[in-house]
Amino acid sequence: MSWNDPSSSVSPVASLSDERVSSFLSKVYGYMFAGLLITAGVAYAIASSELVLTLLVGNRLLIWAVIFAQFGAVIALSSMRDRLTPLSAAAVFIVYSALVGVTTSVIFLVFTAGSIAQTFIVTAGMFGATAVFGTVTKRNLAGLGQFMFMGLIGLILATIVGLFWQSDALQFVITVVGVLVFTGLTAWDAQNMRQLALAMPDGREGTYAVVGALSLYLDFVNLFFFLLRLTGRRN
């Protein structure tokens, strides 16, 4: 059935929009999965070397430097998406993913390798189902997103309080709320990817795909950590 066929229910504009969204989403999730692979690879490589892991854990200055570098990378990608080339954005994202792998490696000291693997699989299933829902649903999730963002702010404040007030009950509440918040943010961000694909300037698909991948990557990683705290078996 051609576009010129008056009986066709699909317009040329709608078809082009669908193609643009599909192309953009494939790039977004491609970058995201690549980032996760880099993070997992770096974390496992460091954890496999007792010497490197010991040096990392024993050097707080290095850990803080890595953490600040991560924040810098996130800020750079988020604030400079209209100025970065696709190659530059991808390079920053790769470096950021590797830095997260460095700090993530310490979980092998706390949790068993089996529980880490199981939690990763569970996280992948939850993330995938939630992302699909956010992508295909016709319901506007803006309200959910705003609510979850407020929950994220509360989560950050509660985490700061938890650093000074050691309470198992508080830590449990923080963990459960963290799972709920990042599950909701995953659905919201997944829906935003469709809107971003249609609203982004022409010729900026590559850079915007990296920025979109960063948002979903952060949702996945944080969801993984909170699930690991909730269900992981400790060494």
Query: At residue 12, does pLDDT exceed 90?
Result: no
Of the spans 14-18, 20-24, 39-43, 161-165, which averages the highest pLDDT?
A: 39-43
Query: At residue 120, does pLDDT exceed 80?
Result: yes
Of the spans 5-9, 79-83, 206-210, which averages the highest pLDDT?
A: 206-210
Interval 56-115: pLDDT, tens: 888 888 888 998 999 999 998 988 888 889 999 999 999 999 999 999 998 988 899 899
Instruction: Choose among 182, 184, 194, 160: nearest CA to 25.
Output: 194
Task: Please write down the HEC assignment for all residues of the chain.
Answer: CCCCCCCCCCCHHHHHHHHHHHHHHHHHHHHHHHHHHHHHHHHHHHHCCHHHHHHHHCCHHHHHHHHHHHHHHHHHHHHCCCCCCHHHHHHHHHHHHHHHHHHHCCHHHHECHHHHHHHHHHHHHHHHHHHHHHHHCCCCCHHHHHHHHHHHHHHHHHHHHHHHCCCHHHHHHHHHHHHHHHHHHHHHHHHHHHHHHHHCCCCCHHHHHHHHHHHHHHHHHHHHHHHHHHHCCEC
Query: At residue 7, does pLDDT exceed 80?
Result: no
CA dihedral 72, 75, 81, 83 (to 10 degrees): -60
Length of the chain: 235
Q: How far apart are CA 139 and CA 64, in angstroms?
A: 41
Query: At residue 5, does pLDDT exceed 50?
Result: no
Q: How confident is the model at residue 220 (pLDDT cuts 50, 70, 90)?
A: very high
